[in-house]
Amino acid sequence: MTAVLQVADYSLDYELPSGALHVLQNIDFSVGAGEVLGLVGESGSGKTTLGWAIMRYLAGNAREVGGSISLQGENLLAMPQRQVESLRGGRLGMIFQDPSASLNPTLSLGEQVVEVLTRHRDLGYRDAWALGEQLLADVDLKDPAAMMKRFPHEASGGEKQRVLIATAFACRPQCLIFDEPTTALDVISSAQILQLFRRLREETGVASLYISHDLALVSRVADRVCVLNQGRIVEQNRGGRIFTAPNDAYTQRLVAAVPAADKRLLNETEAGGVPLLQVAALNVRYGQPSLLDSLLRRDRQPSMGARDMTLGMARGEILGIIGESGSGKSTLAKALTGLTPFTGAVQFDGVKIHGPAQMTRDYRRKVQIIFQHPDASLNPRQTIGQILSRPLRLYGLPAGESEAQAIARLLREVRLPENFASRYPHELSGGQKQRVAIARAFAARPELVICDEITAALDVSVQATVIELLLELRRQHGTAYLFITHDLNLIRQIAHRIAVMYRGDLLEILPAVDMAAHARHPYTRALLDAVPQPLTELEQLDDA
């Protein structure tokens, strides 16, 4: 099979004042017609840069050191700019990560579809518009005529991505590069997008390069997978093989870190302990009407952050909360820590709480929270030591320890060097910052730690170490976790029970082990079907 896209020994440097940075080194792969090649890497691996380099979109200080990139035998590096521009979006297309960010917010969807079609299909405006409507119908979008006139903010992420994919395919590409196309979408929309992608691929025989950080997903989508580590391809193989028999050390670490529902990290299946937290009929209302709206007496329907939530937790239990963005899962976290007012009854350790005002210092000590973005949750103007000292000063030092000793101990517990106490957050990596946040939470000697998507912003290998740390700390201190996430595979590894949330409603609470057997709500079932599991060698990429 002749290759449609051939990258041969390609290397790219960035010229920095401090010297040359080798971003890509000796990249070598090819993609044939109808084939999907997956490109997997963590942040800093160079995968996105490679995608852009193929599209000939280079930064001002980029230097191509050697090698070639060929499309249907033509070397793109030798091509004049004008010819490259006519290629882009036509024979060589790209689908971007965030459909909301890659569409101009002030132009209608139709306009943006038409301009691409007129550019590459040599059509007039009207014909292009008609074709656009037809494309939208082909990808099962309701009411294509109206959708064409809508603006990007009036369509959902999944809808927009479908429009973009349809448009790209309509320009008869020979090769398409997909740059994390489903990362910004919810799981169910992602599954639909991937189905659409499969169908169009089979119809057109296009060669695809699928870039992602999600190894499990890529193994299900791609025929072959390349693993990229710091600019080098360290392994290239069929998806199933990568998971079952990785050769390279980095790949092995990566594969071990990927969450899989059947790889339990927690040995217990049930938490047998006294009840710790009881939430009954919790309601959180968002959207305070503004001054003027009240004056005009306009009825601004309040959006419900959480509706009638009822759940309970035992001491030392790990309760997972799973849901997409907008499901209200973070709302529960905010309510329990007094960051948002709520109605309903919360009983914690025997004490009844009806609102933030009733949260005593003791309560606040026992219930701690860790946030998603480590950059934002540590004050950039304070040292690590200052950050860790606050809870110690608020809640008191443990007996027999000075503040400095306590800080040193906390850092040791989260496996950070003691001299980090004098550093500032910007000197630490994302994973290290998150560990500081964990240390800060544990400085209070809490009984419940709420983890609000704490690994969502981290690379998968870093995520694995953070999870391992959390489980270790739980073994030491017997802390309960309320673990909020959108990653179903992850939570199935570590939770006792899992609560499923959708649009502010708590749908059901299921045991984590054997979740599929107990799932009753159609949304839960759809979720379980949609989440990709890593491919094993025994399975083939079938047309399921």
User: Going by DSSP bridges, is the β-strand pair 224-229/448-452 parallel, antiparallel, or unpaired?
Assistant: unpaired
Among 120, 213, 220, 492, binds another protein (CB under 8 A): 120
Q: How many angstroms separate the CA atoms of 541 and 371, rounded?
A: 37
Residue 149 binds another protein (CB under 8 A): no
Which residue has tokens 């380099």?
A: 53
Residue 115 engages another protein in binding (rule: CB under 8 A)? yes
Cβ count near 151 (within 10 Å):
15
Q: Does the protein bind another protein through residue 187 (CB under 8 A)?
A: no
Q: Which of 32, 34, 424, 526 binds another protein (CB under 8 A)?
A: 424
Q: Does 290 bind another protein (CB under 8 A)?
A: yes
From candidates 20, 245, 296, 404, binder to another protein by CB under 8 A: 296
Which residue in the set 19, 80, 126, 295 belongs to the binding site for another protein (CB under 8 A)?
A: 295
Nearest to 193 by CA among 331, 70, 267, 98: 98
Comparing CA positions, the residue from 120, 176, 132 lying closest to residue 4 is 176
Q: Does 337 bind another protein (CB under 8 A)?
A: yes
3-state secondary structure of 493: helix
CA 482, 483, 489: angle at the middle one, nearest 5? 145
Q: Which of 308, 306, 309, 313 has its CA nearest to residue 278?
A: 313
Edge-to-edge strands, sheet with 92-95:
92-95, 175-179, 207-212, 36-41, 224-229, 232-238
Distance CA 418, CA 403 (A): 13
User: Applying CB under 8 A, which of residues 20, 59, 249, 516 lies at the interface with another protein?
Assistant: 59
Name which position in 364, 366, 435, 496 contacts another protein (CB under 8 A).
364
Residue linked to tokens 């040193």: 408
Options 126, 153, 297, 520; binder of another protein; rule CB under 8 A: 153
Q: How far is the CB of 435 from another protein (least distance, A)?
A: 15
98 lines the binding site for another protein (CB under 8 A) = yes
Residue with smaller CB distance to another protein, 174 or 493? 174
Binding status of residue 361 toward another protein by CB under 8 A: yes
Based on the shown chain and the rule CB under 8 A, indicate whether residue 429 belongs to the binding site for another protein.
no
CB of 92 to another protein, least distance (A): 9
The smaller minimum CB distance to another protein, of residues 218 and 392, is found at 392
Regarding 544 and contact with another protein (CB under 8 A), the answer is no
Question: Given the rule CB under 8 A, which of 113-121, 122-130, 308-316, 469-477 is the region that contacts another protein?
Answer: 113-121
DSSP labels, 389-422: HHHHHHH-PPTT--HHHHHHHHHHHTT--GGGGG
**3-class DSSP state for residue 41?**
strand
Residue 390 within binding range of another protein, rule CB under 8 A: yes
Q: 368 or 493, CB closer to another protein?
A: 368
Nearest alpha-carbon partner for 468 in 317, 316, 257? 257
Distance CA 6, CA 37 (A): 12
Residue from the set 7, 12, 103, 109 that interacts with another protein by CB under 8 A: 103
Q: Is 105 in the site for another protein (CB under 8 A)?
A: yes
Q: What is the DSSP string of 119-169?
A: HHH---HHHHHHHHHHHHHHTT-SSHHHHHHS-GGGS-HHHHHHHHHHHHH
Question: Considering only residues 64, 67, 96, 471, which one is a binding residue for another protein as defined by CB under 8 A?
Answer: 96
Q: Which of 129, 197, 348, 371 binds another protein (CB under 8 A)?
A: 371
* Interface ranges with another protein (CB under 8 A): 52, 55, 57, 59, 85-90, 93-94, 96, 98, 101-107, 115-116, 119-120, 151, 153, 288, 290-292, 295-296, 298, 337-339, 359, 361, 364, 368-369, 371-373, 376-382, 390-391, 394, 424, 426, 440, 444
